[in-house]
Chains A and B, each alone.
Chain A
Amino acid sequence: MKLLTCVSAFGLLLAANAALAADPNLGRNLAATCANCHGTNGKSLPGSGIDSLAGVPKANTLQKLADYRSGARTATIMHQIVKGYSDEQLDLIATYFAAQK
């Protein structure tokens, strides 16, 4: 199971960006930068009013992030934060959260 996770992470990394393919835990590490507000592994506290990201399908998270970036979706802060990450990084983050149960 562990090996499978690793192999699929590699596949994604190799496909996404060779330059970023250095650390197999890159998605985990990047997603951890969201955890201050969105909770460890994307599980925010129930009722805290901040979205949980764990288990959200990747496409949904990526669409939401794209809408923050374009301004199609208004935000207090996410429109500023999303611009700090590359598309490849956002892809890794959304993939990591989608895999969290």
Chain B
Amino acid sequence: MLMKRRDFLKAGAAAGALASLYGCAGATKASGHVVVVGGGYGGATVAKYLRMWSEGSVQVTLVERNANFVSCPISNLVIGGSKTLADITVSYDNLKSKWGIRVIQDEVGAVDSAKRSITLKSGGSLSYDRLVLSPGVDFLWDEIPALKSADAQAKILHAWKAGPQTVALRQQLEAMKDGGVYALAIPKAPYRCPPGPYERASLVADYFKHHKPRSKVVILDANEEIVSKKPLFTKAWSELYPGIIEYRNNAEVKDVDVASKTAILEFDKFKADVLNVVPPQRAGSIAAQSGLKLVNTRWVDINWLSMESTNTPGIHVLGDAVFLAPGMPKSGHMANQHGKLAAAAILNQLAGLEPNPAPVLMNTCYSFVDSKNVIHVSSVHQYDTATRTVQPVKGAGGVSAVRNEAEGTIALSWAQNIWADMLA
């Protein structure tokens, strides 16, 4: 370990050169104004981490249409009846008071990427050095024509964005007579939260089992098979809910009859007492309106070193709106990880440096199969220079061996900790 003085000096000079390259010597420090659109799992995380990691030297404005954060993960427990909307609602106050983020409750009218400014629907505009869009998903109502009107959407619910629809679906289930049928339509993948529909079916079945035992859950899945954790869901349904859950594959809902709560499939119809349609999805419309390159006309094409749009420099996109890397789910957990990757990249870029060339992302999705037992899926994703994307690490990640109550406790702890990681 002894170094000759000459070698030591050489090493010191090399470290010094690197230090100045990366601004450690204080030569460059990130500064500027970042506007974040959307305060969900991606947007809230990038806002907080930009402020925390820059030690306040970068200004951050968060534009969010809702007054509070309402979590999609755990919202199926509200539908199942073991949690309330208040349990999954978190204020943006800490982002304002503790982290010094300007939070504006509004929607974006338009993005001018050339002038680096956005207009707000209520009037006024904001200029930015870097823009982060974390708009989540919009629904493709054209693919279920009868659901285009607001009136129809108030009767046949999606409850795929947590909030009033979550509560309304719970009320429909409570109002349903014993012996009724709840039908859940699942769109073709990719959609937000791959295991989410199967968790919802499980929790509604759990509610029926204890409160309306003659009722049934029918899953109309547009996919060929269960998209996530198939063996664990199948086992839970046959052991916990025999005769309650009926699963139909290749059952794509093409339209509905609102008045009779009937799902219209290609060659068949299905009448329900409570019809819950999760529509096909694409990136929030602000992405297409901003001129960002989309893949398959739906999802934003990004550079995985910075989460930056491949055709519009200066605009970063996070979460469910992006065209995902191989094996990556559209999940809240993953959106939070996107937020941190983007925050690190943006701070480097604002200091005149290249983004970290070796980013890592990881994911965990917990699903309840009843009010206490949980199954998980996990994965780790490392940047691969050859394919210029993040790739799942072979041999890492996996699913629960069996459903278990220990993970039921951990899943609720996960929620508390990730909400704090974003918002506290």
Contact = CB atoms under 8 A, between A and B. Distances in A.
A22 B353 CA distance: 11
A33 interface: yes
A97 B227 CA distance: 36
B152 interface: no
A83 B395 contact: yes
Contacts of B104: none
Contacts of A33: 337, 340, 360-362
Interface size class of A (residues with CB under 8 A): 35 or more
Contacts of A83: 380, 393, 395-397
B25 to A, nearest CB: 7
Contacts, number: 136
B357 to A, nearest CB: 5
Interface string A52-96: 000000000000000000000000110011111100010000000
User: Which of A20, A28, A83 has the largest number of chain B CB atoms within 10 A?
Assistant: A83
B215 interface: no
Contacts of A30: 360
Contact of B15 (A10, A45, A49): A10
B420 interface: yes
By DSSP majority rule, is chain A's interface helix, strand, loop, or mixed? Answer: helix
Nearest to B15: A10
Interface string B81-120: 0000000000000000000000000000000000000000
Given A76-B376, A76-B407, A85-B360, A23 B395 contact: no
Nearest to A76: B407
A36 B344 contact: no
A76 B404 CA distance: 10
A86 to B, nearest CB: 8
A27 to B, nearest CB: 11
B333 A49 contact: no
A24 B22 contact: yes
Interface string A16-37: 0000111111101110110111
Contacts of A99: none
A101 interface: no
Contact of A77 (B376, B409, B417, B420): B376
Contact of B380 (A22, A28, A81): A81
Contacts of B52: 40
B19 A10 contact: yes
A14 B420 CA distance: 34
Contacts of A82: 396
Contacts of B348: 23
A48 B364 CA distance: 17
A24 B24 contact: yes
B358 A20 contact: yes
Given A23-B344, A37-B417, 6 more contacts: A11-B15, A32-B344, A35-B421, A37-B414, A45-B416, A85-B380
